[in-house]
A and B are shown apart, each in its own frame.
Chain A
């Protein structure tokens, strides 16, 4: 190796080491007060997953001008309910014609573990408020992303499974389909809309505020 290159290598190596040192220092930096406050707010946003639906689907047809409503919570499945209609019952009644399995609470393991997963996220966030270092916050954000992406994929898989496992003896034969995860789709005489509801929005805000908390402390480290 020519000496110039060795020099350069050593220089680079030193640079690298400085960055790693810096990064290690950053990881161990305790969160400042502002960040801790923001994490606390994040926990409050997270509470939305326990009170509001994560997702909402609406099915419009001529006979249902107001749309049949289906709400997916972290812990239950609920249809719109008015004095004149029980939407979940109605959706199942209609679905049996194409051989779709009735939607039933007990068929979703998610409803039993999802609340605990969100609860754990909340507890870890609270831990960060008390003992927080940047690294805890990074861990937390990664977990949020993991739970979020996993849930969405799981939800898509459920939609796919329901739309593709149609009973072979169904009175009306339809091409297997996947109900929309996000947006609008025409399925037979129904226009189906699917979009996140307040629970997911709370979850997203919770995640964003965690990122804000991260920025608030790391900015301080840089300016030092």
Chain B
């Protein structure tokens, strides 16, 4: 009995001992706490302090751009681009309405910051619309869209865009979908392989104004085989003058592409020599199709070459020194590094293995420098300031860090979950800022308070200053950031204005700056109003029109103080504009509903904001009186 008790006691003691050992092997609470404190401090920007970088997220099918600060990851503002946005009154006034061209949404994918000598110059931000084949330019002086180009002729699915060339000579475009060219022509889809075409294109950018142009005299397009072009990057340094785009569906298949377009072991990276193309343009070797210049590579040798790339590639990125072109096959576990010099040599030696519609295909072995075993489903690559590359792995939900030159993978970090693009501040320029990588993730489930079935997107901030990557922060945005660009905040500090100064930034001929100049003028059936908004009134506060009149209101916010915005909404007339300090906007509508409609300031401005209101009085047709239903 005593012996049995001893055995039982012995077993118990052993259990306790094992438990204690196991327990002490787990990281202690203290260790976890100190890591959390480190991460918290790394992202904490105290109240009143400012972030180090701006992050410009594309807003995907929201059609917007989101602006956040790094390292805090705080969302600061949204720049509406392709979608009307009542918050800022975008798409409600005459000018922005016209710019939107009747479209109510866009699919914003890849922002690009303008560059000078391969580095961000903080002037403009470009963003593509994958759905309606447009490109928008935002002026970073006031964070507002100044131009929307398109729908651009012949393009369908402007996805491989807006990567800019080294001095912003061009904004680039590649089509995701092939269609019969000229766009608008009907050809049965059975003739896809022969009669449909992809397009890659370069939109010319005015170096002074940033104005984008693609017409009979500016920019050009290149007629491509009916592949699905995906993503691109412009060369820099030695590779300046070239643009590279990946493509899938070299099978030229239709139908269920996930199967039919995944048969070939290798697809391509298209290398386009735009300096060569410019020579052909000068010689007049192009056709005008739908009002734009189109080069056919069959008749313009030396403009396009194809480099085989691992199965169904997605991203292609050029290293900061311009020597390496990194292409990732999303259905493989390697990323391929091409040597630009070797590419030039292979072209010189005519080291071709075939052709596609007259475009030479270079021998893979001759142009490849290395295959880096990064992991499953590599998509995009960014670079830091220390010679490392960071490749996102969608299938594996991770980022691989590897070294340029030795091509060794040195670190990997798990991501929550399914990372698409990634962004190192200034990570696609000649001089990346390094410090952080931001993972832009497709799935976020379980990482935030539940909000029902419609889930936000996740982005994660990762510290890359040390040998090991460290996860710092999870942030969530509306759908759906694809790519993002980050720029040193210093570069914008002295460029951004917060007030449109009278006569300097606002030279609108319809601007008025004094309440005394406010007036209502009738010309036939048009009533034109010059109105001011200032704390806390509109002048005139009363607009009387007849039913059916066209009403034009030029509204100037005469404030000259930062952050004194005023809104102007007319009840039931579906109008809401916001005028920033010193801004003039024009509102046009037909007063088709009789009755009395209050208007008021929608953007809280002052202690007497509620009092900032007036009336639109619409006299019913056939004389004054009460309009009866």
Contact = CB atoms under 8 A, between A and B. Distances in A.
Interface of A: 83-86, 89-90, 93, 97, 171-172
A85 B561 contact: yes
B607 A84 contact: no
Contacts of A97: 535, 607-608
A201 B559 CA distance: 34
A172 B611 CA distance: 13
The 7 closest A-B pairs by CB, nearest first: A86-B560, A84-B562, A84-B498, A85-B561, A89-B560, A90-B561, A84-B499
A95 to B, nearest CB: 11
Nearest to A85: B561
Contacts of A83: 497-499, 501
B79 interface: no
A188 to B, nearest CB: 11
Contacts of B535: 93, 97
B48 to A, nearest CB: 10
A86 B611 CA distance: 24
Given A84-B562, A86-B560, A86-B561, A93 B497 contact: no
A93 B559 contact: yes
Interface of B: 497-499, 501-502, 534-535, 559-562, 607-608, 611
A171 B607 CA distance: 10
Contacts of A86: 501-502, 560-561
Given A83-B497, A84-B499, A171 B608 contact: yes
A85 B502 CA distance: 11
Contacts, number: 32
A86 B513 CA distance: 13
B383 to A, nearest CB: 35
A164 to B, nearest CB: 23
Nearest to B582: A86
Contacts of B560: 85-86, 89-90
A84 B580 CA distance: 12
B556 to A, nearest CB: 13
A85 B499 contact: yes
B236 to A, nearest CB: 34
Given A83-B497, A86-B502, A86-B560, 19 more contacts: A83-B501, A84-B497, A84-B498, A84-B561, A84-B562, A85-B499, A85-B560, A86-B561, A89-B559, A89-B561, A90-B561, A93-B534, A93-B559, A93-B561, A97-B535, A97-B608, A171-B608, A171-B611, A172-B607
Contacts of A89: 559-561
A82 B387 CA distance: 42
Most buried by B among A84, A89, A172: A84
Contacts of B562: 84-85
B440 to A, nearest CB: 33
Most buried by A among B498, B535, B561: B561
Nearest to B494: A83
Contacts of B501: 83, 86
Contacts of A84: 497-499, 561-562
18 contacts: A83-B501, A84-B497, A84-B498, A84-B561, A85-B499, A85-B560, A85-B562, A86-B501, A86-B560, A89-B559, A90-B560, A93-B535, A93-B559, A93-B561, A97-B535, A97-B607, A171-B611, A172-B607
